[in-house]
Amino acid sequence: MRRDVSQDDGIIVVQNVTKRFGDQLVLDNVSLAVEKGKTTVIIGRSGCGKTVLMKHMIVLERPTEGQVFFKGERIDHLPSRDLAEIRRHYGFCFQMGALFDSLTVFENIIFPIQQKQRITDWTAMSKLVKSKLAMVGMDGFQFQFPANLSGGQQKRVALARAIALNPEVILYDEPTTGLDPVRSDIINELILKLKNELAVTSVVVTHDMKSAYKIADRIIMFHEGRILADGDAEHIRSHPNPIVQEFINGQVSEAELAAIRLGGTCFEAQFDPQDFQPTGSGH
């Protein structure tokens, strides 16, 4: 799907962006305008380039070709110092290494605030941290270190940090992965609440179609570095492309089934106990 976007078409605009890592083409001339105050959900198979695309929206990756705009201003070529200023408008929660291991939950949450201003009123700060943690069901964990939390708990703390500064735009990379269904739905409700009450713009990468249908104003299916489908939930549900249908229904394609069959039986693929015996042991 090809279309042209101009720099004022959305709060974030990715224009003709191509990204290569060495010989690998990850983004193939992608253009996308993220609409202000709406929730845009990006879906697609593992490894198709969703995280890389999202990182371009905040210039954690720079395009090989093409441009990125925030509120009409080109940002992809800015030096780090200027980018720090732009990033203050964003909250972001990426897949990996979301929290600082050496800081407590409390210190992790106030980190972006400290970057912006010197904290003098610690009572107010404690209240703020408490309210942000309560939003994700993590009040009471202020003085724990990330290593003592489960994966899902760490993710929720990272979300609380992402919303700490009331950002205009929040980028969420798989916010519900690793959470139980009830916690996942709390995150969905949080994203809806931030949109409805504070007109926050959200971009959400997810594999969770239930979440996608619930929160999205617009769903973009990404495939092999390009946008394959783009529209509201109904548009995606009834999309004629079999790749879209296989993804949203969690089905394996005929080609993939054939590859599994070609791979031989599971029995043939097992290790033999003797594979683990030390060589030269005399057995």
Ligand X SMILES: Nc1ncnc2c1ncn2[C@@H]1O[C@H](COP(=O)(O)OP(=O)(O)OP(=O)(O)O)[C@@H](O)[C@H]1O
User: At its nearest, how many Å lie between ligand X and the CB of residue 42?
Assistant: 9
Site string for Mg ion, 36-65 (x = CB under 5 A): ---------------x--------------
Q: Could you tell me the two tokens for 217?
A: 């104003």
User: At its nearest, how many Å lie between ligand X and the CB of residue 111?
Assistant: 24
**Residue 130 burial class via C-beta count within 10 angstroms: exposed 0-12, middle 13-18, buried 19 and up:** middle
Q: Does 176 bind Mg ion (CB under 5 A)?
A: no
Q: Does 188 bind Mg ion (CB under 5 A)?
A: no
AA letter at 270 = Q
Query: Contacting ligand X (CB under 6 A), which of 50, 56, 155, 239?
Result: 50
* Backbone conformation region of residue 71, classed left if phi is above 0, alpha if psi is from -120 to 50, else beta: left
Nearer of residues 39 and 206 to Mg ion, judged by Cβ: 206
| Distances, alpha carbon 237 to alpha carbons 39, 175, 203, in Å | 17, 22, 20
User: At its nearest, how many Å lie between ligand X and the CB of residue 134?
Assistant: 29
Query: Contacting ligand X (CB under 6 A), which of 14, 48, 158, 164?
Result: 48
Site for ligand X, residues 73 to 112, rule: CB under 6 A? 95
Q: What is the CA angle 274-278-280, rounded to 5?
A: 105
d(CA 60, CA 95): 13
Query: Contacting ligand X (CB under 6 A), which of 1, 6, 8, 47?
Result: 47
Across-strand partners of 43? Answer: 221
d(CA 79, CA 84): 9
Q: How many helices (H) and strands (E) does the chain have?
A: 11, 10
Q: Does 52 bind ligand X (CB under 6 A)?
A: yes
Site string for ligand X, 136-155 (x = CB under 6 A): --------------------
Q: Does 219 bind ligand X (CB under 6 A)?
A: no
Residues lying near ligand X in the complex (CB under 6 A): 21, 26, 44, 46-52, 95
Residues near Mg ion (CB under 5 A): 51
